[in-house]
Amino acid sequence: MTVVATVGTTHPLAFAGLAFAVLALAEEGVRPVCVVAGVTAQDADRVTARAPIDAATIRAQFDALRDANVDAFHVGALLSAEAVRAVAAALADYPAIPVVLDPVLAASHGDRLGDAATRTALRETLIPRATLVTPNLDEAAALLDCTIADIDAMRAAGAAFVALGAHAALVKGGHLDGDPHDVYADANGVRTLPSHRVAGTLRGTGDLLAVTIAASLARGASLTEAIEHARHRVREAIARATPFAGTHAATFNNT
């Protein structure tokens, strides 16, 4: 049995966050397990409450996974520096297991989830542990304290995440005008990954991309194979998104 642990924050409507990740992992054919590191109340328009889980409770949840034989970790939104450092400390017990870090810093509608201290903790403790870090343009700009408005800036950002210690980075360019291009960087250099824009909208595309990569890595795929499979899955999900609770959400065969 292939097992992926998803670590992050709840979303009541499962547009993103832990419930969304569990659904997406199950559809990928892997066994999902999870660590709750934060709780939010949010709908299609706004975040109305947010609370990080304390470090001791996060650690206890990781301890409970010891017999699960986790094959890969996916880490999503973390709401405090304390939570980030607790997750990083727990992952130190799994040095050989791939970690896909999706550094979510705000909800889709812009409400802040991570503050300056959280960003600092991500840079210092979790990014250096990541097999792959998958920021969008806003997240990359916030973590690197720069402006990213074109492909050249994306390429520089990808290299900067590798310099911070990540094994590899995938900087997502879907918010730029025109056809979307992502940028992949690792110790061997930087390359641009072109794509085409699919008609439609979908909440949770970043989560879907990251958990799909984690599932593929857990099954033994290479990082290149995992990224290409995940990018294809996101395009398909956008094309078949359905209206739900005031927005367009992913559909899963297991729901």
Cβ-Cβ contacts under 8 Å for 157 (sequence gap 6 or more):
135, 140, 141, 144, 146, 148, 169, 171, 183
Condensed to tens digits (0 to 9), the pLDDT of residues 83-137 reads: 999 999 999 999 999 999 999 987 665 567 779 999 999 999 999 999 999 999 9
Residue 199: the pLDDT is 64
CB 185 within 8 A of CB 192: no
Residue 242: band (very low, low, confident or very high) from pLDDT cuts 50, 70, 90: confident
Residue 108: the pLDDT is 62
| pLDDT exceeds cutoff 70 at 231 | yes
pTM greater than 0.85 (yes/no): yes
| pLDDT exceeds cutoff 70 at 215 | yes
Residue 237 lies in a domain: yes
Cβ-Cβ contacts under 8 Å for 182 (sequence gap 6 or more):
170, 171, 172, 173, 174, 192, 193, 195, 231
Residue 44: the pLDDT is 85
Give the pLDDT mean for 26-37: 97
User: What does the angle CA 143 – CA 218 – CA 167 come to, to the nearest 5 degrees?
Assistant: 35
What number of residues does the chain have? 255
Residue 254 lies in a domain: no
Residue 98 lies in a domain: yes
Any idea what the CATH number is for the domain that residue 43 is in?
Answer: 3.40.1190.20
| pLDDT exceeds cutoff 80 at 249 | no
Residue 176: the pLDDT is 78
b (16+ CB within 10 A) / e for 53-88:
bebeebbebbeebeeeebbbbbbbbbbbbbbbbbbb
For 28-136, where are the alpha helices, taking DSSP H only? 55-64, 81-91, 116-121
- CA 73 – CA 180 distance, rounded (Å): 27
Residue 66: the pLDDT is 94
Domain count, the chain: 1
Residue 159 lies in a domain: yes
Residue 214 lies in a domain: yes
| pLDDT exceeds cutoff 90 at 201 | no
- CA 234 – CA 222 distance, rounded (Å): 18
User: Which residue, among 85, 77, 40, has the nearest Cα to 59 in the 3D structure?
Assistant: 85
Q: Are strands 72-75 and 247-249 parallel, antiparallel or unpaired?
A: unpaired
Residue 255 lies in a domain: no
Torsion of CA 186, 190, 194, 200, to 10 degrees: 50
Residue 178: band (very low, low, confident or very high) from pLDDT cuts 50, 70, 90: confident
Q: Which domain holds residue 63?
A: 3-249
Look at 107 and 217; give whichever has higher pLDDT: 217
Element of type H or E holding 219: none
